[in-house]
Amino acid sequence: MVIKTKKILAPLDGSKNSIRGLDMAIHIARQSQGTVTALAVKSVPGIYAIHPLGFLDFNSTSEMKKILSDAKLRAAKKGIKLIGKSISGDPGYDIARFANNSKNGIDLVVIGARGRSSAKEIFLGSVSNYVLHKSKKPVLIVK
Amino acid sequence: MNENNFKKVLVPLDGSKYSEKALGRACELVNMFDSKLVLIYVVEKSVPLNFLDRKAYLKMLQKFGNKILDKANSSLSKKGIHAKIILKEGNIVNEIEKVVKKEKCDLIIVGNKGLGSVTRFLLGSVSNKLAQSSSCSVLIVK
């Protein structure tokens, strides 16, 4: 049985933990000659994410661009191809949907145990937990 | 150079096909990272079994566990992987945590469900507890 992990999804929110997840994704990608898809997620109340007017474009804010360019730099240092994508909306839901979408062909989701949302140190973050339950692809939780 | 290397990988087995899947995934990782593999089977002691002959039941479970571990080990040795085998008794999650600490594992690979029937449609209870509380990284194989 040969399982290929060619495409690795690494959701990012700019926190330290998500960077650690990205490092792990890059590490795995290097071993399996895969590519990393970085997904910058901006938490936005649902009503804005589906706003019909174009002026609320969260996907191209400087914050997201910075996260993605940082990720690209990190990957380039290790010689890994990184594809940047950005999404705004409910983080857990959108990450899970992105991972399950067969068009994206994700083989593995690498996620930090905690993001920026909680001050709790011991428990799994809510987004990680949501993705863990909802994703149909394997999930690696980096502690 | 890279400190987050998977030097030791722990795979808890329970005989379900999900745990077999997890084992397959573990083989791939072991080949990729050249890491050591530890297999564990935990005989669950926490279920109250007063109505049955407890000793006989535990013996049965132990036999079952040994069978599973032997089977996994023989299929691994066909692929040229050597694995360390551990059989424990007690609460499943607690024992796995203890072994993780003792063996200094870097990664746990579990299937998303096991043999428990109640939470069949969701993430299994053991996988969930491990994901919440373990001190090392967890890979959930779906």
Mean pLDDT rounded to a whole number for chain B? 81
Average pLDDT, chain A: 79
How far A61 CA lies from chain B's nearest CA (Å)? 32
Question: Rounded to a whole number, what is the distance in Å from the CA of B134 to chain A's nearest CA?
Answer: 9
Is residue B10 a contact partner of residue B85, using CB atoms and an 8 Å limit? no
> Is A3 inside any structural domain?
no
Structure tokens belonging to residue B110: 């579990």
pLDDT-based confidence at residue B66 (cuts at 50, 70, 90):
very high
- Is the pLDDT at B95 greater than 70? The verdict is yes
pLDDT attached to residue B3? 52
Closest-CA residue of B relative to A32 is B32
- Topology annotation, domain B8-141: Rossmann fold (3.40.50)
In this predicted structure, the answer to whether residue A27 has a pLDDT above a threshold of 70 is yes
> Nearest Cα to B89, choosing from B44, B39, B40, B38?
B44
The residue segments making up the domain with residue A30 are 18-142
Does the complex come out with an ipTM higher than 0.85?
no
Closest CA to A3 of B41, B23, B84: B23
- B86 at the A interface (CB within 8 A)? no
Closest-CA distance, A96 to chain B, in angstroms, reads 13
Is the distance from CB of B5 to CB of B70 less than 8 angstroms?
no
Q: Determine the residue of chain B that is closest to A122 in CA distance.
A: B133
Is the Cβ–Cβ distance between B111 and B22 less than 8 Å? yes
Quote the pLDDT of residue B1: 37
Most confident of A90-99, A112-121, B64-73: B64-73
The verdict on a CB contact (< 8 Å) between A27 and B2 is yes
CB contact under 8 A, B28 and A140: no
The CATH number of the domain holding residue A105 is 3.40.50.620
Mutate to test the interface with A, among B23, B32, B97, B122 (most CBs of A within 10 A): B32
Query: Where does residue A135 fall: left (phi above 0), alpha (psi -120 to 50 degrees), or beta otherwise?
Result: beta
- Residue A10 maps to a domain: no
Identify the closest residue of chain B to A126 by CA–CA distance: B132
Give the confidence band of A48 by pLDDT, cuts at 50, 70, 90: low
pLDDT at A51 over 80: no
pLDDT-based confidence at B119, cuts 50/70/90? very low
Q: How many whole angstroms separate alpha carbon A17 and alpha carbon B61?
A: 40
Report which of residues A120 and A21 the model is more confident about.
Answer: A21
Query: Which tokens belong to A57?
Result: 């474009």
Tell me what pLDDT residue B69 has. 92
For the cut 70, the answer to whether the pLDDT of residue B2 exceeds it is no
Does pLDDT of A1 surpass 50?
no
pLDDT tens by residue, A52-78 = 555 566 666 788 888 889 899 989 998
Mean pLDDT within A122-129: 68
pLDDT in the model for residue B67? 92
Counting other chains too, the contacts that A90-93 makes at CB distance below 8 Å and 24 or more residues apart are A90/A43, A90/A46, A90/A49, A91/A11, A91/A13, A91/A41, A91/A43, A91/A115, A91/A127, A92/A126, A92/A127, A92/A129, A92/A130, A92/A131, A92/A134, A93/A130, A93/A134
Domain ranges of chain B: 8-141
**Nearest-by-Cβ selection for A3 from B25, B123, B136:** B25
Q: How far apart are CA A95 and CA A105, in angstroms?
A: 13
- C-beta atoms of A124 and B27 within 8 A: no
pTM here?
Answer: 0.81
Which tops the pLDDT comparison, B115 or A142?
A: A142
Number of independent structural domains in chain A: 1
* Closest residue in B to A114 (Cα–Cα): B132
